[in-house]
Amino acid sequence: MKKSGYLFPMEHEMPDMKIHTYPDAVLKSTAEPIKNIDENLQKIIDQMFKTMYAAPGIGLAANQVGLLKRLIVFDGSPRDDEPSPHVLINPEIIVGEGSIKWDEACLSVPDYTADVIRNSRVQVKGLDRHGKPLDLEAEGLLAVCLQHEIDHLNGILFIDRISSLKRALYKKKIKKKEKKDAGK
Ligand code: ZN
């Protein structure tokens, strides 16, 4: 889901953040609510956008870059459309309804996708990057993306929502790869 050639405009020049991957403990941890919306947070948000677009991904939660803060960035606009960067601070799902099956992938779970069943429509509230309250309604891909990213803040990965058999197979694959990499 690449936004081809898109460079996120930033006020601050900075390197990409490191994306933590399974089984890193930070992905299993619960993020803390954000109390101070300050200059430092603006830098983190810009850096997360840059990292997300470079990956490329359509969503990124702070846990994935090693920060236990309740913060997500996302862009659910179709591939060839203009980019539409969004931030949610302290996001909360207040309504979830319907059901949808989506083949999900995650920057923290490399080389793997699986069908996950989620709500097809959600209403989410939170704050924008300046602390203004936001109320968002989403369906389809954007609804899936919001549920996936908010799960990250609660230490949940999409592989925690698939069958235990499928998850066991994925873990086996990772172990094999780790062994192979260690042997290099
Ligand atoms: Zn993810």
Q: Give per-residue pLDDT as tens, 38-88.
A: 999 999 999 999 999 999 999 999 999 999 999 999 998 877 788 899 999
The answer to whether residue 14 scores a pLDDT higher than 90 is no
Architecture of domain 25-182: Alpha-Beta Complex (3.90)
CA 50 from chain center: how many Å?
13
Nearest residue to 87 via CA among 105, 99, 69? 69
Which residues, 6 or more positions from 2, have their beta carbon under 8 angstroms from its beta carbon?
56, 79
How much distance in Å is there from the Cα of 13 to the middle of ligand 1? 25
Which residues, 6 or more positions from 150, have their beta carbon under 8 angstroms from its beta carbon?
61, 72, 91, 92, 93, 124
Q: Is 175 exposed, middle or buried (0-12, 13-18, 19+ CB in 10 A)?
A: exposed
Known active-site residue 149: yes
Segment among 11-15, 103-107, 135-139 with least mean pLDDT: 11-15
Q: What is the mean pLDDT of the chain?
A: 92
Q: Where are the alpha helices (DSSP H) in the chain?
A: 39-54, 141-153, 164-182
How much distance in Å is there from the Cα of 158 to the middle of ligand 1? 7
Nearest residue to 71 via CA among 36, 95, 105? 36
Q: What is the pLDDT of residue 78?
A: 77
Percent of the chain with pLDDT over 90: 80
Please count the other Cβ atoms lying within 10 Å of the Cβ belonging to residue 50. 21
How much distance in Å is there from the Cα of 24 to the middle of ligand 1? 13
The answer to whether residue 3 scores a pLDDT higher than 60 is no
How much distance in Å is there from the Cα of 183 to the middle of ligand 1? 28
Residue ranges per structural domain of the chain: 25-182
Confidence grade of residue 1 (pLDDT, cut at 50, 70, 90):
very low
Which of 13, 92, 104, 149 is labelled catalytic? 149
Q: How far is CA 150 from CA 19, 25, 31, 123, 157, in A?
A: 17, 17, 10, 12, 10
Nearest residue to 59 via CA among 132, 158, 135? 158
The answer to whether residue 4 scores a pLDDT higher than 50 is no
How much distance in Å is there from the Cα of 131 to the middle of ligand 1? 24
- pTM value? 0.91
Query: What pLDDT, in 10s, does the model give residues 118-142?
Result: 999 999 999 999 999 999 999 999 9
Could you tell me the two tokens for 119?
A: 């709500």
